[in-house]
Chain A
Amino acid sequence: MHEQRDFDRFLHAVDVDGAIAETSHQRQLVLSRRGLLAGALAGPGALLLGGSEARAASGLSANDVGILNYALVLEYLQASFYTEAERSGALSGKTAQAAQVVGATERAHVKAFQKLLGAKAVKRPLFDFQGVTEAQQAFLKTAVAFEDLAVAAYKGQAPKLQSNAVLAAAVGIHSVEARHAAWVRELFGVTPAVNAFDKPATKQSINHIVASTHFIVAHPKMKARSRPQYTG
């Protein structure tokens, strides 16, 4: 399947320690074998924020608005992912509990970003998760990838923030995403903390990875001008 290949490439790209490739049910010491983002740099994902929404919102610089919106897209992605998974009924046990708690947190993050950005907030994209919210193992695999991705993304942007108040907020969220990452790794059966130093990721690489999943899709156009052919 075409999209299965794309998704596998996505998992491969964020598979810091081979954890996702080698599903392990036993605790094992897994050392990093390759960088966080295997090579590929491409243009920004079509539907993600490439530049910035420019104008300042409530005293925020254009630079910071751009970074906040970029983070908001990742929060939308996570919140929608956990919400859909919880509603699917496919999760059980500790995994189901984790999805509830983490989902509630990500939804709270989304609200906070939307509140701060106001009219400048990007709209929630439409996500097509293609089944990874509907089967427990696929869910865990994807959760590991998403959380590691979020950690790297926040880390990459934090030093670029101009406002100290935004930076203070960002670091407080960044470390929570790292807790999430360890949590879902533990549930998946791989080492929760592999390296002594977690690497940052650039906006470009994150955009590329997310775009490669094809999870963000256009809203289908359900309105038309065709002449009705109904029975009348």
Chain B
Amino acid sequence: MAPSAAETRTTDARSRLQLIVAGGVGLTAASPILRALLGTGAADAASKSEDLRILQLVLLLEYTQVALYERALNEASLTGELRDFAQIALGHERQHLAAVKQALGSKAGPKPRFEFGLKTKSADAFRETAIKLEDIAVAGYNGQATNLTKPTLAVAAEIVSVEARHAAWVRAIADEVAAPDPVDKPMTASEVAAGLREIGLRTS
């Protein structure tokens, strides 16, 4: 069966991330890739390794989102539009996670543990947490935009707007103003890590 347009797009994004991490763009000989890796200046090499460091954090972020939605769907007695949201958002986050995992390959960290406590036990608590987490995702991606190499930025841009849509959607469900600020402020990587820990990420 031919892949749907959505599936094709996902594959494109995943394989693009993969090739970016490898430093190459073409599907042909290995030498252009080697040249890209070894022949370029220190700044480029730093950027690519910086991409990897950032992707490690993105991995944790996406793991957290997947875990939150999975657990809430099991435990929070979600109904109606909130349930629809959780299901659709989970689908998206799983695709994000898969793309980042594939890009990192064997460098991808293991799946972390989570302790969400009451956050996934009720619809209200879940809703509040989802808003926080999606906002962290937006701020986190935005905060790294100027650190990423351009090809990785392009893919990150495709993800961050989806996180922003999630955030607005769940605010609308909560009857809050869906887009209260005229500009989204960035978060540093440390702030993102702290935010994820506060929500329930456990890495050790």
**Which residues of A does B touch, CB under 8 Å?**
27, 29, 31-35, 97-98, 101-102, 104-105, 108-109, 151, 155, 158-159, 164, 167-169, 171-183, 186-187, 191-193, 195-200
The residues of B with any CB-CB pair to A shorter than 8 Å are 4-6, 9-10, 13, 81, 84, 88-89, 91-93, 95-96, 138, 141-142, 145-146, 150-151, 153-155, 157-169, 172, 177-186
Known: A32-B6, A172-B142, A200-B154. A178 touches B92 (CB 8 A): no
Q: Could you tell me the dominant secondary structure of chain A's interface residues?
A: helix
Given A158-B153, A172-B186, A197-B158, A179 contacting B4 (CB threshold 8 A): no
Nearest A residue (CB) for B150? A159
> With the chains together, A177 CA to B157 CA distance in Å?
13
Secondary structure type dominating chain B contacts = helix
Beyond contacts A171-B142, A182-B164, A192-B168: 8 other A-B pairs, Cβ-Cβ < 8 A, are A158-B154, A168-B145, A175-B138, A187-B172, A196-B93, A196-B96, A197-B13, A197-B95
Q: Complex Cα distance A108/B88, Å?
A: 32
Contacting residues, chain B, for A105 (C-beta < 8 A)? 179, 182
Give the chain A neighbours of B138 by CB distance below 8 A: 175
Residues of B within 8 A of A29 (CB): 84, 88
**CB–CB B178/A172 < 8 A:** no
In the bound assembly, the distance between CA atoms of A171 and B183 in angstroms comes to 9
Contact partner of A196 among B92, B169, B178, CB < 8 A? Answer: B92
Contacts of A172 in B (CB 8 A): 142, 183-186
Given contacts A196-B6, A197-B95, A200-B157, whether A176 and B184 have CB atoms under 8 Å apart is: yes
* B167 and A155 within 8 A (CB): no
12 contacts between A and B (CB under 8 A): A27-B81, A151-B161, A174-B160, A175-B142, A178-B161, A192-B168, A193-B169, A196-B6, A196-B162, A197-B9, A198-B161, A199-B158
Contacts of A173 in B (CB 8 A): 183-184
B33 CB to closest chain A CB, in angstroms? 20
Q: Do the beta carbons of B88 and A101 come within 8 Å of each other?
A: no
Given A168-B186, A192-B168, A196-B10, are A178 and B157 neighbors across the interface (CB < 8 Å)?
no
Contact of A155 among B151, B158, B163, B169 (CB under 8 A): B158
Give Cα distance in the complex from A169 to B146, angstroms.
Answer: 10
Could you tell me the distance between the alpha carbons of A101 and B161 in the complex, rounded to whole angstroms?
A: 19
Distance, CA A186 to CA B151, complexed state (A): 31
A155 touches B4 (CB 8 A): no
B184 touching A31, Cβ below 8 Å: no
Chain A residues lying within 8 Å of B162, measured Cβ to Cβ, are 178, 193, 195-198
Picked from B9, B167, B178, B181, the residue with its CB within 8 Å of the CB of A186 is B178
Residues of chain A contacted by B96 (CB below 8 angstroms): 196
Nearest-neighbour CB distance to chain B for A18, whole angstroms, equals 11
A179-B167, A180-B179 as given contacts; A159 in contact with B6, CB under 8 Å = no
Which of the listed residues A101, A181, A182, A183 has the most CB atoms from chain B within 10 Å of its own CB?
A182
Q: In the bound complex, do residue B178 and residue A158 qualify as a contact, i.e. CB atoms below 8 Å apart?
A: no
Nearest-Cβ distance from residue A61 to partner chain B, whole angstroms: 15
